[in-house]
Amino acid sequence: MIKDMTMTTTDPTQTGPTRADPTGQRKTGLHRRFLRPLLFLALDQNEETYGYELAEAVRDYGLAIDMAGVYRELRTMEQHDLLLSRWEASDEGPDRRVYTLTDAGHDGVHHAITSLRTARDLLSAALTGLEADVGATRR
């Protein structure tokens, strides 16, 4: 259900294949505070999806996260009326919970995008300044 949303940041010291990166380089480097915005982006990709697929999408974005953390955040988002869930019978194992965004959740997607862009711009400015300072001291 989730489209491949791979991030290019990798740590070559950590190995092991993943769905998005069969070469074994794990995505790292994103702080846990990015979990909710990344869940919003993953939820926005489909009308409905499962918790496991959302966790995989978040991992593909670059956030190392455990399933318990994903489900805690999904419960919190549901308590804040940002998404709805329902149980769906499965022919291949236990029933699964299906998640969909509410109208407020769709508004949250726009906020998440703005938040991620702001973080990107701030980090980019900080790195540009740092790179200029490092370049100046090397001369």
pLDDT, tens digit, 9 for 90 and up, residues 6-25: 333 444 334 445 555 554 54
For range 122-135, the mean pLDDT = 84
Q: How does residue 136 score in pLDDT terms, banded at 50, 70 and 90?
A: low
Q: Provide the pLDDT for residue 54.
A: 95
Q: Provide the pLDDT for residue 32.
A: 78
CATH topology of domain 10-138: Arc Repressor Mutant, subunit A (1.10.10)
Q: What are φ and ψ of residue 97, in 5° steps? A: -90, 130
DSSP bridge partners of 88 = 96
CA distance 3 to 112: 18
Q: Provide the pLDDT for residue 39.
A: 95
pLDDT tens for each residue of 20-72: 555 454 445 567 788 999 999 999 998 899 999 999 999 998 888 889 999 99
Q: What are the sequence ranges of the domains in the chain?
A: 10-138
Rounded to 5°, the CA angle 116-122-128 comes to: 130
Region for residue 16 given its phi and psi (left: phi exceeds 0; alpha: psi -120 to 50; beta: otherwise): left
> pTM, whole model, 2 decimals?
0.70
The residue written with tokens 């290019």 in the block is 8
Q: Provide the pLDDT for residue 12.
A: 37
Terminal Cα distance for the chain, rounded: 51
